[in-house]
Chain A
Amino acid sequence: MGLVAGKKLFSVMALCAMIGLLLLPIAVSLPSLALGADAPEEVKKDGEAKVEKGRDVYYKTEGIVVGAPAPKTVDGPRDYPRYNFESRVLLWFANQQHLYYGSFVLAVPIFCMVIEFMGVVTKDKAMAKRYDQLAYDFIKISLTAYSLTAVLGGILIFTFLTLYPAFFGYLSSIFRPVMHIYALMFVAESGTLYIYYYGWDKMKDGFLKWIHLSMSVILNVIGTLLMFLANSWIGFMMSPAGVDEQGRYLGNIWHVIHTALWNPLNVHRILGNMAFGGGVVAAYAAYKFLASKTDEDRAHYDWMGYIAMALGVAFLIPLPFAGYWLMREVYAYRQQMGITLMGGLLAWLFIIQATMIGILFLSTNYYLWQALGRMRGAEKYQRYIKYLVFVLCCGFLVFITPHTIVMTPAELKAMGGQQHPVLGNYGVMSAKNGGINVIITTTILSFVWYMRGNKVSTVSWAKFGNIFMGCFFGLAYVNIIGLAIYGYYIPANVRVGLSVPQVATTLSCLFFMFALNSVMMKGAKQMGAIEWGKISARSQYALIMLATAFTWMMGLMGYIRSSVRLFWHVNEIMRDNSPWAYTHTVGFAANMISFNVLFFWISILFVFWLGSLGIKKAPVEAKAGVPGGAPQPAGGH
């Protein structure tokens, strides 16, 4: 009894310590913030004449100048020291690798929290144990990656200091009040993660388990705040605020952080990280599935792959909408920036992005259709899959149609202009919005089929429910495509608003049809068990494809977001005068992104291998699993 009470006390103290760690940076930052506010007062003592005021470039408020102007750099060893290699490419590589690992280690603990919570609230004890094991497997993968993230962060800072000292000096002078907060948050994140991981076995029951779960919440709050702070730097570089037109800091750190693009970037990155993390864990599970020697292992990794994929896709579905919001804010901030992105210099990269998004959804659907094969009773859906393939392909082809094509003069003449007389009509946003919404709605439909694959509803109104669901999906398609066609007949200023009801239609399918399906399937008759592990190898390659496509797309989008600043370090404030202040060709960018993707996957395979060294194998159970239940975990901890 005394031991248990001691454990409880220790756990509560550990939790309080974590909360303390979370608050510590804020407490430490107060004098720093105050210093910024005090500085003008000191200046005031010397006389009003010395106080210089500036106007915020974004908020248009007046503030007292407390910082130096942005340096006017010149190409030379002082501002741009270099090796015999393009500095930008080195920085690109260091940045991208740090981002990949950072995204992964921020996303996986969120999955872990969700799965651990599912384990805590589920009433089935066997299932709870499996969820708990899965959550542990997830955090174990991220732990080794976490160390590598920190190392890559160090490499990134040294790369900045070595190759771009003037720019980094300016950026750190602007963000000085929060730089140490970032560092302390990182310490807090590390401490919390290690206590959370190593306390797993000690805090596995009752009240202690809830404390452990609370730790995961704090861990994720710290991780999210870390990401928000990092986002404020890129937000400032794209859409500076809190400084005057010379780039002088005006003493309000909140203005510097809360730039025009900060919130859209935050939302976009959270969703992107989650989808990416899900993809990487799903690929890990797929690799382990393919390498498994026993049915138990195959069943476990099949289940793990499915959960990771489902979580990843749950965040992938709203991701295009968050991207749309970000683009809208970019247009609202600087129309020219939006045009450079989507209608000018970088437009072709968006065609590649559309292709990658299409591949992500096609892979997801393919996996789900393959997964129907491990359910008895799901055969009834197989004959309809060809129709979904047709709809998906149509949506995909419209979505990737470019507005204009690079052509020789002879080709141009033969076609009669920049746009193809028929296909050219699809290369506009009205059609593309329709295309992507059709793709997402079809993915939702595939999920609904998967959820009811081996079940038959027993509710008295099942017939009406099925008909209603069919009509809802049917009319959703009609509405999405109808709005896309309608867009051709109305002026641009009205047309631009049509995307909102299109998105709402897709989200209605997601929320209402999932809810309706769940109600209908409550207490449903099972046609047979889900035979975990009895899935084609092809499906696992689809998971690997999903993860690779996502990694590639993240690299691409990062490049696009960064390139839109063109020849500015900080947009319209600090000019990039290095010899690399130009936009690379699409081919070079694609090769660089591919190299980054390849490097990430090779290094993460090494991380997975390192992680597998510590696994103690649980004894293989000869008995078959409970029908319909999840498989037994393959490893113990």
Chain B
Amino acid sequence: MGQTIVYVIVSLVVCLAYFTAVDHFLMDSQGLDFWYLLRK
């Protein structure tokens, strides 16, 4: 059970980091700000 929780947490962290990077860099490559709403 403990091992499963570790696997889930590691997977979530990796995937979350990956998708955030995708969102940020692909918007940045178009000259757009992904964090527009937060910065406003």
Binding site for B on A (CB under 8 A): 463-464, 467-468, 470-472, 474-476, 478-479, 483, 486, 489-491, 493-494, 497-498, 500-501, 504-505, 508
Taking a contact as CB atoms closer than 8 A, the residue among B14, B22, B23, B32 that contacts A494 in the complex is B32
Q: Are B16 and A494 in touch, CB under 8 angstroms?
A: no
Q: Are A464 and B36 in touch, CB under 8 angstroms?
A: no
19 additional contacts (CB under 8 A) given A491-B36, A504-B22: A463-B7, A470-B11, A471-B12, A471-B15, A475-B15, A475-B19, A476-B19, A479-B19, A479-B22, A479-B23, A489-B37, A490-B36, A493-B32, A498-B27, A501-B27, A501-B34, A504-B26, A505-B19, A508-B18
Q: Are B15 and A494 in touch, CB under 8 angstroms?
A: no
Shortest CB-to-CB span from B6 to chain A, Å, is 9
Q: Are B4 and A463 in touch, CB under 8 angstroms?
A: yes
Q: How far is the CA of A508 from the CA of B34 in the complex (A)?
A: 19
Taking a contact as CB atoms closer than 8 A, the residue among B8, B30, B37 that contacts A471 in the complex is B8
Number of interface residues of B (CB under 8 A): 23
Prevailing SS type, chain B contact patch = helix
Known contacts A464-B7, A467-B8; decide if A475 and B16 are in contact (CB<8 Å).
yes
Known contacts A479-B19, A494-B33, A497-B32; decide if A472 and B4 are in contact (CB<8 Å).
no
Q: Are A468 and B22 in touch, CB under 8 angstroms?
A: no
Known contacts A472-B11, A486-B37; decide if A467 and B30 are in contact (CB<8 Å).
no
Residue of B nearest to A474 (CB): B15
Q: Are B23 and A483 in touch, CB under 8 angstroms?
A: yes
30 contacts between A and B (CB under 8 A): A463-B4, A464-B7, A464-B10, A464-B11, A467-B4, A468-B7, A468-B11, A468-B14, A470-B11, A471-B8, A471-B12, A471-B15, A472-B15, A474-B15, A475-B16, A479-B22, A479-B23, A483-B23, A486-B37, A490-B36, A491-B36, A494-B36, A498-B27, A500-B26, A500-B29, A501-B22, A501-B27, A501-B34, A504-B26, A508-B22
Q: Are B37 and A490 in touch, CB under 8 angstroms?
A: yes
Q: How far is the CA of A505 from the CA of B23 in the complex (A)?
A: 9
| A464, A471, A478 — most chain B CB neighbours (10 Å) | A471
Provide the residues of chain A in CB contact with B7, threshold 8 Å: 463-464, 467-468
Residue of B nearest to A498 (CB): B27
Residue of B nearest to A500 (CB): B26
Residue of A nearest to B32 (CB): A497
Q: How far is the CA of A504 from the CA of B30 in the complex (A)?
A: 14
Provide the residues of chain A in CB contact with B12, threshold 8 Å: 471, 475
Q: How far is the CA of A463 from the CA of B32 in the complex (A)?
A: 39
Q: How far is the CA of A57 from the CA of B7 in the complex (A)?
A: 60
Shortest CB-to-CB span from A483 to chain B, Å, is 7
Q: How far is the CA of A500 from the CA of B27 in the complex (A)?
A: 7
Provide the residues of chain B in CB contact with A483, threshold 8 Å: 23
Q: How far is the CA of A483 from the CA of B32 in the complex (A)?
A: 14
Provide the residues of chain B in CB contact with A475, threshold 8 Å: 12, 15-16, 19
Q: How far is the CA of A472 from the CA of B36 in the complex (A)?
A: 25
Q: How far is the CA of A290 from the CA of B16 in the complex (A)?
A: 47
Q: How far is the CA of A616 from the CA of B14 in the complex (A)?
A: 56
Provide the residues of chain B in CB contact with A467, threshold 8 Å: 4, 7-8, 11
Q: Top 3 nearest A-B pairs by Cβ distance?
A: A471-B11, A497-B32, A475-B15
Q: How far is the CA of A385 from the CA of B4 in the complex (A)?
A: 24
Provide the residues of chain A in CB contact with B4, threshold 8 Å: 463, 467
Shortest CB-to-CB span from B7 to chain A, Å, is 5
Q: How far is the CA of A489 from the CA of B35 in the complex (A)?
A: 12
